[in-house]
A and B are shown apart, each in its own frame.
Chain A
Amino acid sequence: KAGVTQTPRYLIKTRGQQVTLSCSPISGHRSVSWYQQTPGQGLQFLFEYFSETQRNKGNFPGRFSGRQFSNSRSEMNVSTLELGDSALYLCASSFRTGGSGELFFGEGSRLTVL
């Protein structure tokens, strides 16, 4: 059974640009959540999607957005990139929503903003 797949694995952008990251969950999982991981702040919750609906949102500015498609694949977008957005972005899938199920993570997308 394939795991959670995130693309791209690495990317470099400059300030002011935007970026889109993709996440394909484990087959049969309908919940996808996104996290930002930095050395200073640890893992911080961005948002969760279940059945194409955003179910929960963390405390991030509106520059961070996401969506989920009918096949449960999810994308997150960051607009007007800032240096502080450099981080490892992790996607996790779960069979159930609201974090009630076990989380399975992808390898992450490492974003560097110059």
Chain B
Amino acid sequence: KQEVTQIPAALSVPEGENLVLNCSFTDSAIYNLQWFRQDPGKGLTSLLLIQSSQREQTSGRLNASLDKSSGRSTLYIAASQPGDSATYLCAVNTGNQFYFGTGTSLTVIP
């Protein structure tokens, strides 16, 4: 069974700092990997989807990378803003279903 781990569980940074969130998975046979953000009490908002054949994807200040062989993905957030405060989850797709990490709770301090 695929297991997904996100470290750290919580992160607090001052506004303007660049930061990296980590996601690791146990089985490299994945179809794709998706990053989401979740605001308190809300649903998940899709940020980036990386196909297994891709190494990275970019959207605005966000850049996600994927290294299937080592079972790792990172989400890079440039010039963080208070509005980036949320929980960030990665989800690994085995082709049958998505397996979710428990998330990294990010707080950006003004």
Contact = CB atoms under 8 A, between A and B. Distances in A.
Contacts of A90: 43-44
Contacts of B103: 42
Given A42-B102, A42-B103, A99 B95 contact: yes
B45 A103 contact: no
Nearest to A102: B49
A58 interface: yes
A110 interface: yes
B106 to A, nearest CB: 16
B93 A99 contact: yes
Q: 4 shortest A-B CB distances, which residue pairs?
A: A43-B100, A105-B44, A105-B43, A42-B102
Interface of B: 31-32, 34, 36, 41-46, 49, 89, 91, 93-103
19 contacts: A33-B97, A42-B103, A43-B91, A45-B99, A56-B96, A88-B41, A90-B44, A92-B44, A98-B97, A99-B96, A99-B97, A99-B98, A100-B93, A102-B34, A103-B46, A103-B91, A103-B98, A104-B46, A105-B43
